[in-house]
Amino acid sequence: MIVKAGPDRELNAKIVTRKKFHCPCCKVLLLEEIFTSPEIECPFCSASIKLPNLSAKQVEADNERREKRCPVSLKVKYNTAEEFKIDYTKNVSQGGMLITTKSPIKTGTKMQLELFVPNLNEPILLTVEVMHNHQHSFNAKHAGVGVRFIDIDPLSKSILKNYLSALTDCS
């Protein structure tokens, strides 16, 4: 893909071609390497997945997930339009997290939340955007919302990065 960057200048955007499939529960983009049989287990949420016929698609590399998701349960507090909520994460990365909840939150909703990291006196304050909503998952334990961080101060980001890198499942 060629992107014009100005008169007489071009930038080459990196494109990857591979089979593309998202887990129907956690919506994580699954890599082609794990497609070893028609039925697999999602490495992120452990959902049993029956794969459809997959065709090669081109995906801009900028749309790929950049950080590893770490399976960790951390308390989060936030307000929805209807109520004050306390829920827990299913997994967390440096750029987002999956919050286990049965409360519907519309995709695109921006909200502030508090993330409680062990051994911190105060929670990390984040502004997030809901990227996907899985309230009607075939398995109730996978119901939740995927959010990406849109505002996190540098110190909090560093604390979260250090915490995640210290976890056994994330190192």
| Amino acid sitting at position 68 | K
Contacts of 9 (CB under 8 A, 6+ apart): none
Note the pLDDT of residue 135.
Answer: 65
d(CA 111, CA 7): 40
pLDDT tens-digit series, residues 26-77: 677 776 667 777 788 877 777 787 776 655 444 444 444 567 889 999 999 9
Query: Cα dihedral sign for 131, 132, 135, 137?
Result: negative
Query: What CATH superfamily is the domain 75-170?
Result: predicted glycosyltransferase like domains (2.40.10.220)
86, 76 Cβ separation under 8 angstroms: yes
pTM exceeds cut of 0.85? no
Is 47 in contact with 23 (CB distance < 8 Å)? yes
Quote the CA–CA distance of 97 and 27 in Å, as a whole number.
11
Domain boundaries, the chain: 2-63, 75-170
| pLDDT at residue 125, rounded to an integer | 95
Q: What is the pLDDT of residues 83-125, one digit of tens each?
A: 899 999 999 998 999 999 877 788 899 999 999 999 899 999 9
What is the C-alpha to C-alpha distance for residues 27 and 144, in angstroms, rounded to an integer?
11
